Amino acid sequence: MHEQADKRRHVIRIKDIAEKAGVSTGTVDRVLHNRGRVSANVREKVLLIAKDLNYEPNILARALVSKRSYKIAAVIPDPVFDEYWSAPREGVRQAERELRQYGLTLHEYLFNPADVDSYKKAASNISEAGYNGVLTAPIFYKESLAFLSQWKREGIVFSLFNTHIPDYGPLSYVGQDSYQSGVLAGKLLHYGMEKAGVFVIAHIDEDVPNSSHLIRKEQGFIDYFAPIAHEGHATLTVNLKNCGDEAAFFAQLDALLNNHQTISGIYVTTSRAYAIANYFEKKRIRNIKLIGYDLLKKNQYYLDNGFIQFIINQNPRGQGYYGIYTLVDHLIFQKPVAPLKYLPLDIITRENMHYFIDVDVENMR
């Protein structure tokens, strides 16, 4: 027991292995890094001793002394068009600051999340620029497939965040389990309901057929209510447009509530819950539960004032941050990377909101 504890406390060096094996440090180095000619017997002896001593190579030091530079591209939506994307971009930049000492060079390619041609233009830069890796949010599902296939053929490693497309072989996906977040939203809206009602799934200014993560959220929500349909609950999906035009947007909500007078809750599948909360505030509606995603400033206001009951935190900053780290762990540190890194489904209310605001991403790892 004490011997094992001593092994854990003592940093094992190549020199230690060489002395125990009765060979030179150069021989040990060749065995451990699988280079040069070493007899089979010596190789086996060195590997057994290294295993017995719990030898772990110092990959950080190896990366520091390496002269190689690694180029990574971040193809992400431009926060100018949607406030939500400022957080992933901050996470990407934080990771880049921490990792540049290991030879990382990062370039951003920003695109308009409402313009598919803007995405295609940004993604088309990757192949010719000699990147080792790419981090992207493939929010345009169909258009993303061609680029993922091309990068795969060219040997460019890519990780995904926000939207998962597993069939095209990403190194890793960082984000929430979209299906389970939909299930959670259903459970939160249903909790405490004493009578049957209609629960609305609201997609706001989204191209849903081309957004796999929204389809997964919707399906999770519907599946939550399916086993309790006998209670009289029903789900309804609506696609609302032009949330920036208050009069036009309010007219759509007026029609929705007039046509379905037993609505008990509304689930907004994106960060735009504030658009419906604004309507509730103006119309003085407080008998319909509202749930959405992400602590945008507007969502914080309506959560604090009771027009939004729950926010599901998608940790967008962490998505960008961990997304870069998956690529660097694989490319530079040569560490195994999990194919899925699901971030927690944090439930935010008025009472605990302040704990989630401006979380320091430096403390995440």
Q: Could you give the C-alpha distances from 6 to 1, 45, 52, in angstroms and in order?
A: 9, 22, 12
Instruction: In whole angstroms, give the CA distance from residue 190 to residue 184.
Output: 10
Residue 263 has pLDDT above 80, yes or no: yes
| Least confident window among 19-33, 132-146, 215-229, 293-307 | 19-33
The CATH code of domain 2-57 reads 1.10.260.40
Report, as an integer, the average pLDDT of 56-71. 64
When the candidates are 3.40.50.460, 1.20.1730.10, 3.40.50.1980, 3.40.50.2300, the CATH number that belongs to 178-313 is 3.40.50.2300
Tokens (6 digits) for 234: 């029903």
Q: Which pLDDT score, from 0 to 100, does residue 2 have? A: 45
Q: Give the confidence band of 64 by pLDDT, cuts at 50, 70, 90.
A: low
Q: Which pLDDT score, from 0 to 100, does residue 362 have? A: 47
pLDDT in tens, 138-197: 999 999 999 999 999 999 999 999 999 988 899 999 999 999 999 999 999 999 887 889
Q: Give the confidence band of 319 by pLDDT, cuts at 50, 70, 90.
A: very high
Instruction: In whole angstroms, give the CA distance from residue 113 to residue 73.
Output: 17
Q: Give the confidence band of 265 by pLDDT, cuts at 50, 70, 90.
A: very high
Could you give the residue range(s) of every CATH 1.10.260.40 domain in the chain?
A: 2-57
Instruction: In whole angstroms, give the CA distance from residue 84 to residue 362.
Output: 20
Q: Which pLDDT score, from 0 to 100, does residue 11 have? A: 65
What secondary structure letter does DSSP report for 172?
E
Arch. (CATH architecture) of 68-176+316-342: 3-Layer(aba) Sandwich (3.40)
Tokens (6 digits) for 342: 């699901």
Parallel, antiparallel or unpaired: strands 289-293 and 198-204: unpaired
Report, as an integer, the average pLDDT of 213-218. 96
Q: Give the confidence band of 4 by pLDDT, cuts at 50, 70, 90.
A: very low
